[in-house]
């Protein structure tokens, strides 16, 4: 039996129906939830990992958030997104009171909400944006810019209020006013890393093999080259605001919109090689 061939036209949105603001707000709802839950849970890493392992033992829970794990090509993404949004809403205050006590239920709700938000963002980005705006690259760019604006403001306001110490540490490690030119970022160090929280080679491979998991995760770019004076290094907190895949001549193009906070929150497009260089010289933001 031959494998059915699906055409992406079924996902393409008519230009007149595209609401850029609504798309950006929906994406940022997922990203804000992921940022908040990931940060809270990072303070309780051991318990978090135990709950994650427990969650993944449940039937039907996927171990990664790749969109094709939830919606097969040709399927309707809303079949996943609508019930996922209901679960996220049920796990969001004031529907649950978790801000005042760190209990077993608190951990479970956070982990579960993070998982559902990450999966929803993955499906949303692939089907509603990458495929939905395939014929409208200018609208996709507007979406990317608006999403970057929203998340930049979020980190400066809501996130900063929730995690002031985290933001202080990030601010102390910002990049200089003149960053390195794209395409000339420092290569990976030849020395084994001894920095706690440093992104490992295995982490890099896992992120690039499942790029949607990068969206919203925060890193600090901190090169560790031979003979490099740490005071002269290019420090800066950064995150991937969005990730898209496009058909190109002879293959597929991967594009990451990267927010370098040292540049004031503006997003820059990068390819997979540039992201690899950034990751190899980065630590996880704490």
Kindly list the domain boundaries of the chain, sorted by start residue: 17-162, 167-284
Place of tokens 């058909």: 247
Highest mean pLDDT among 96-110, 113-127, 174-188: 113-127
Cα 106 from Cα 100, distance rounded (Å): 9
Residue 87 scores a pLDDT above 90: yes
Of the pLDDT bands very low, low, confident and very high (cuts 50, 70, 90), residue 22 is very high
- Under DSSP, is residue 152 helix (H, G, I), strand (E, B) or coil? helix
Q: What is the pLDDT of residues 209-239, one digit of tens each?
A: 777 778 778 888 877 654 444 433 454 788 8
Q: What is the pLDDT of residues 235-270, one digit of tens each?
A: 478 888 777 766 555 556 777 888 876 555 556 778
Task: Give whole-number Cα distances, 13 to 17, 30, 43, 101, 120, in Å.
Answer: 7, 21, 41, 44, 19
Q: For the whole model, what pTM was predicted?
A: 0.62
Chain-centroid distance of CA 153 in Å reads 16
Cα 259 from Cα 268, distance rounded (Å): 6
The arrangement of strands across the sheet holding 282-284 comes to: 267-270, 251-260, 236-248, 218-221, 282-284
User: How is residue 213 annotated by DSSP?
Assistant: G
Residue 39 scores a pLDDT above 60: yes
190 is written with which tokens? 């030849």
Cα 124 from Cα 25, distance rounded (Å): 12
Q: Which residue has the higher pLDDT, 250 or 152?
A: 152
Residue 174 scores a pLDDT above 60: no
User: Which residue in 173, 162, 80, 174 sits closest to 118, CA to CA?
Assistant: 80
- H helix and E strand count, the chain: 9, 5
What pLDDT is attached to residue 248? 55
Q: How many CB atoms lie within 10 A of CB 271?
A: 13
What pLDDT is attached to residue 230? 41
Q: Mean pLDDT, to the nearest integer, of 131-158?
A: 88
Between CA 154 and CA 161, with CA 159 as vertex, the angle to 5 degrees is 120
Residue 5 scores a pLDDT above 70: no
Q: Are 137 and 253 in contact (CB under 8 A)?
A: no
Cα 41 from Cα 48, distance rounded (Å): 6
Cα 181 from Cα 243, distance rounded (Å): 21
Cα 114 from Cα 37, distance rounded (Å): 6
Chain-centroid distance of CA 2 in Å reads 36
How high does pLDDT run on average in the chain? 76
Exposed (0-12), middle (13-18) or buried (19+): which is 51, by Cβ within 10 Å? buried
């Amino acid at each position: 039996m031959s494998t059915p061939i699906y055409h992406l036209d079924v996902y393409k949105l008519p230009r007149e129906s595209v609401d850029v603001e609504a798309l950006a707000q929906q994406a940022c709802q997922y990203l804000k939830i992921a940022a908040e839950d990931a940060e809270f849970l990072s303070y309780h890493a051991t318990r978090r990992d135990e709950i994650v392992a427990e969650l993944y033992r449940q039937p039907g829970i996927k171990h990664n958030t790749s969109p094709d794990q939830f919606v097969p090509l040709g399927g309707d993404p809303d079949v996943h997104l609508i019930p996922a949004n209901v679960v996220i809403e049920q796990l969001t205050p004031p529907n649950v009171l978790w801000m005042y006590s760190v209990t077993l239920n608190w951990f479970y709700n956070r982990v579960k909400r993070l998982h559902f938000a990450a999966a929803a963002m993955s499906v949303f980005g692939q089907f509603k944006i990458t495929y939905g705006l395939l014929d409208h690259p200018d609208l996709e760019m507007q979406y990317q810019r608006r999403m970057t604006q929203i998340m930049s403001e979020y980190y400066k306001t809501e996130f900063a209020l929730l995690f002031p110490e985290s933001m202080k540490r990030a601010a102390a490690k910002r990049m200089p006013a003149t960053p390195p030119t794209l395409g000339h970022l420092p290569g990976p160090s030849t020395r084994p890393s001894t920095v706690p929280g440093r992104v490992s080679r295995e982490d890099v491979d896992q992120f690039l093999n499942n790029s949607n998991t990068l969206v919203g995760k925060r890193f600090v770019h901190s090169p560790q080259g031979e003979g490099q004076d740490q005071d002269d290094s290019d420090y800066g907190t950064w995150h991937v605001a969005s990730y898209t895949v496009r058909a190109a001549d002879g293959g597929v193009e991967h594009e990451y919109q990267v927010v370098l906070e040292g540049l004031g929150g503006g997003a820059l497009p990068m390819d997979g090689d540039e992201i690899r260089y950034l990751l190899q010289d980065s630590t996880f933001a704490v």
